[in-house]
Amino acid sequence: MANINVELKGPQGPQIKESLLPAAVAGFQRGLAVVYGTDEYHAALATTAGEPCVGLIEEDAVSAQNPISVIEHGQAVAQIGAAVTPLQKLTTNAAGQLIPAVTPQHVIAVALSGNPNAGDYITVFVCGPGGQAFN
């Protein structure tokens, strides 16, 4: 896990979180975007680029027996799937990573730090469940 040093700076400030049960454990990693699974009590990884999401996974370790904390609003650590620059609007790719958004995708977060390497971590501000329409 490269560049997890974003923890040295952030996230800071208040967050709004929700506890959800993971629909599966495979693939769940810190900083990936999730949607509701079979119901509003379960989380599934975002698998469609640009889709509205609930928030970002906060935990490093995920188990099927324990709920995960999903950051819905506020600063968070996010895993990126492409180069990102500070203050870019971000959406999801098909792996739940955050990437720069384009019209008409939903904006999930705004980058507070940048990084040129896919798979690395940055600090973001999560906009809230469902995100917002890109404009």
Domain positions in the chain: 4-133
* Chain segment 92-129, per-residue pLDDT in tens: 999 999 999 998 888 999 999 999 999 999 999 999 87
**pTM reported for the whole predicted model:** 0.89
7 SS3 class: helix
Q: For 4-133, give the CATH class.
A: mainly beta
8 pLDDT higher than 80:
no
Please tell me the predicted confidence (pLDDT) of residue 1. Answer: 46
My answer on whether omega of the bond before 104 falls inside 30° of 0, hence cis, is yes
- For the cut 70, the answer to whether the pLDDT of residue 4 exceeds it is no
What's the confidence (pLDDT) of residue 128? 81
Place 26 in a pLDDT band, splitting at 50, 70 and 90: confident
* Per-residue exposure over 45-67, b if at least 16 CB sit within 10 Å of its own CB, e if not: bbeeebbbbbbbbbbeebeeeeb
Q: Which of 9-13, 21-25, 121-125 has the lowest mean pLDDT?
A: 9-13
Run of H or E residues at 123: strand 121-126
With beta carbons less than 8 A apart as the criterion, state whether 37 and 23 touch.
Answer: yes
pLDDT beyond 80 at 47: yes
